[in-house]
Chain A
Amino acid sequence: MNDMRAVERDVDTNDLKITARGVDVFYGDTHAIKDVDVDIVDNTVTAFIGPSGCGKSTFLRCLNRMNDTIDVARVEGSIMLDGEDIYDPKVDPVQLRAKVGMVFQKPNPFPKSIYDNVAYGPRIHGLAKDKAALDEIVEKSLRRAALWDEAKDRLDQPGTGLSGGQQQRLCIARAVATNPEVLLMDEPCSALDPIATAQIEELIDELRSRYSVVIVTHSMQQAARVSQKTAFFHLGELVEFGETGHIFTNPSDPRTESYITGRIG
C-alpha cells in the first residue's frame, strides 16, 4: 500500500553508481550548491528539478567535472563513482567524461558526417582497432539511440542536416559510443517538439537498462514520466530526494509541494 511504484516503475537494483556527500560549489563568491548529499542508483533515471538558478545544472556538471572548465568554479565535498573519488588528482577528466557522458539542451552535432559524429569519441579514446570495429560501434550506438533505421542510408551526410529530434538522438548516440556508465542529460528535450520529446523519453527508458541516467528538466511532467527518483533543488539546497511517485503525490517538504503544484517556488 505504501509502495507507490507501478510494476514498470520498479527499480531493479539498489547498487549505488554515484555517491555525493557534502558537496558545495562556489562560483567566485557565490555559493551555488550548499552541502548536497545524493545517491544515484545504477540502472535508474534520476531527475533533478527546481526553478531556474536553483543549482540543478551546476550539480549535474559536477558529476563529470564539467565545472573544471569554469575558472572561478570551486567544488568541495566528495563525489564517488563506483567508490572512486572523481575529483582525485589522479583522475583524468577526459577519461571520466567518457565514462560519464553528457547530452545538452540544444542538439550540438559536430559539423561532420553522421558517421564521424558517432565515431569521434571511440577514435580519440582508441576504442576501435580497425575500420570494421569502428563500423560496429557506430551501428550499435545509433541503434541504442533509436536512430539507426533513419540514419543508416545517409551515414556520410552531415549530422546538422537531421531534424532537431534526430540531432538530439545523434548526440545521445555520440555519448553512448564511448561505452559510458552514466549519462547526464541537461534539458535534452527543451528544444524539441512533443513527438521528438516522446521519442527521447522512450529512449531514456530503454537506456536505463544499460546506464544510470541523470536528467535535468524544467518540465515537471517529464520528470514524472521518465524518472524513478526525483531530486528537488531550491536556492542551491537539495530540498527533497525520493521516489518519483511519492514526490509527485505526497511530497514531504512544503517547498517541494509549492513548486510542483505551480505555486511560488
Chain B
Amino acid sequence: MANQEHIVASFDRDLEGIQAMIMKMGGLVEDSIVKSAEALETRDEDLALTVKNGDKAIDALEERVNEEAARILALRQPTASDLRTVLSVFRVSANLERIGDYSKNIAKRSSVVIQMQPINGTAAALKRMARVVELMLKDALDAYIQRDADLAADVRERDLEVDQMYSALFREYLTFMMEDPRNITACMHLHFMAKNIERMGDHVTSICEQVIYLVTGEMPDEDRPKQDRTPYEEGAGG
C-alpha cells in the first residue's frame, strides 16, 4: 500500500478530512444505538427524545461527507487506493446514516412501549443485542481507520451472533403473544425494534466489506454464515 504522503499536501488533508467526518458520524451513531436501547430499558422518555432529535446531526454529516467526497472526485481525480477511499466514504456514510435511522426508529417505539406494562426481561435482551451491534460497529470503524482487513473480516463473521439473537427474540415474542393477547401491541413494537437492530448488524457487515475492498481492492466472497432463516420457517407455523 502507498502510505507515503501525496506530493500535493492539500490532497492528503482532503482525504483525512472526509475520513475524520466518517469517524465523527460513527461516534454519533454508536452513541445513538446505545442510548436508544437504554431509553427502553430505563423507561427514559427524555433519552428517547434525545436520540430522535440527534438523528438530524447524523443526516447533516452524511450530506457534508457526500459533498466533500464529490468535490474530491471532481478536483483531484483520485486513483487506486485514493479512489477506493473516496468510494468507501460514500458507502460507509450511507450505511451509518441508515443505522442512525434505525436508532431513531427504536427510540420512537421506545416512547410508545414505555407507556405499556413492561414484559419481563425483554428490554434487557434488546439492550444486550444492541450492545453487540454497537461493539461490532466500533470495531468496524477501527478496522476502517486502521485499514485492517483481518479485523473487518472478523467483525463480519460476528453478525451471525446478532442474527441468532434476533431469532431467539422472535421466538420469545411469539410465545409472549400466544400466552396473553394483551402483550401483542408491545411485542409487535419490540419485534420491530429487534428487527431494526438485526438490520443494523447487516449495515455494519456492509461497512466491513467496504474496509476489505478498500484494503485489498476486491470485495469479499459471499460465503458469510447466515442464520436468519428460522423466523421464516417457524413464523409460518405460529
Q: Do A and B make up one complex?
A: yes
Contact B79 A224 (CB under 8 A): yes
Q: Tell me the bound Cα distance from A224 to B83 in angstroms.
A: 13
Judge whether B77 is part of the interface by a CB distance below 8 angstroms. Answer: yes
Which of A1, A221, A251, A262 has the most B CB atoms < 10 Å from its CB?
A262
Judge whether A205 is part of the interface by a CB distance below 8 angstroms. Answer: no
Judge whether A89 is part of the interface by a CB distance below 8 angstroms. Answer: no
Known: A248-B79, A257-B81. A262 touches B4 (CB 8 A): no
Q: Tell me the bound Cα distance from A264 to B5 in angstroms.
A: 8
Judge whether A249 is part of the interface by a CB distance below 8 angstroms. Answer: yes
A254: chain B residues at CB < 8 Å are 1-2
Task: Name the distance in Å between B18's Cβ and chain A's nearest Cβ.
Answer: 16
Contact A220 B79 (CB under 8 A): yes
Task: Name the distance in Å between B37's Cβ and chain A's nearest Cβ.
Answer: 37
B6: chain A residues at CB < 8 Å are 261-263
Contact B77 A257 (CB under 8 A): no
Contact A264 B1 (CB under 8 A): no
Q: Tell me the bound Cα distance from A261 to B6 in angstroms.
A: 7
Known: A220-B79, A249-B83, A249-B84. A262 touches B8 (CB 8 A): yes
Contact B1 A261 (CB under 8 A): no
Q: Tell me the bound Cα distance from A15 to B99 in angstroms.
A: 51
Query: Which B residue's beta carbon lies closest to that of A264?
Result: B4
A260: chain B residues at CB < 8 Å are 79-80
Q: Quick one: which of B53-87 are within 8 Å of A by CB?
A: 77-84
Residue from the list B2, B11, B78, B217 in contact with A258, Cβ < 8 A: B2
Q: Quick one: which of A215-265 are within 8 Å of B by CB?
A: 220-221, 224, 248-251, 254, 256-258, 260-264
Query: Which A residue's beta carbon lies closest to that of B83?
Result: A249
Which of A1, A250, A256 has the most B CB atoms < 10 Å from its CB?
A250
B8: chain A residues at CB < 8 Å are 262
Residue from the list A1, A221, A257 in contact with B80, Cβ < 8 A: A257
Task: Name the distance in Å between A3's Cβ and chain B's nearest Cβ.
Answer: 13
Judge whether B7 is part of the interface by a CB distance below 8 angstroms. Answer: yes
Contact A249 B2 (CB under 8 A): no
Q: Quick one: which of A87-117 are within 8 Å of B by CB?
A: none
How many chain A residues touch B (CB < 8 A): the figure is: 18
Task: Name the distance in Å between A17's Cβ and chain B's nearest Cβ.
Answer: 27
Contact A250 B4 (CB under 8 A): no
Q: Tell me the bound Cα distance from A261 to B8 in angstroms.
A: 10
Task: Name the distance in Å between A124's Cβ and chain B's nearest Cβ.
Answer: 43
Task: Name the distance in Å between A130's Cβ and chain B's nearest Cβ.
Answer: 51
Q: Tell me the bound Cα distance from A260 to B84 in angstroms.
A: 13
Query: Which A residue's beta carbon lies closest to that of B213?
Result: A250
A1: chain B residues at CB < 8 Å are 219
Residue from the list B7, B77, B84, B217 in contact with A263, Cβ < 8 A: B7
Q: Quick one: which of A175-219 are within 8 Å of B by CB?
A: none
Q: Tell me the bound Cα distance from A263 to B11 in angstroms.
A: 10
Q: Quick one: which of B186-217 are within 8 Å of A by CB?
A: 217
Q: Tell me the bound Cα distance from A76 to B78 in angstroms.
A: 38
Judge whether B218 is part of the interface by a CB distance below 8 angstroms. Answer: yes
Task: Name the distance in Å between B146's Cβ and chain A's nearest Cβ.
Answer: 19
Task: Name the distance in Å between A159's Cβ and chain B's nearest Cβ.
Answer: 34
Contact A262 B7 (CB under 8 A): yes
Known: A249-B84, A254-B1, A254-B2. A261 touches B78 (CB 8 A): yes
B218: chain A residues at CB < 8 Å are 2, 250
Contact B7 A249 (CB under 8 A): no
Question: 23 interchain pairs (CB within 8 A)?
Answer: A1-B219, A248-B79, A248-B80, A248-B83, A249-B80, A249-B217, A251-B80, A254-B1, A256-B80, A257-B1, A257-B81, A261-B2, A261-B6, A261-B78, A261-B80, A261-B82, A262-B6, A262-B7, A262-B8, A262-B82, A263-B6, A263-B7, A264-B4
Closest 9 CB pairs of A and B: A250-B217, A257-B2, A263-B4, A258-B2, A260-B79, A261-B82, A248-B79, A257-B80, A262-B6
With A249-B84, A254-B2, A263-B4 already in contact, 18 other A-B pairs whose C-beta atoms are closer than 8 Å: A1-B219, A2-B218, A224-B79, A248-B80, A249-B79, A249-B80, A251-B80, A256-B80, A257-B1, A257-B80, A260-B79, A261-B6, A261-B79, A262-B7, A262-B11, A263-B5, A264-B4, A264-B7
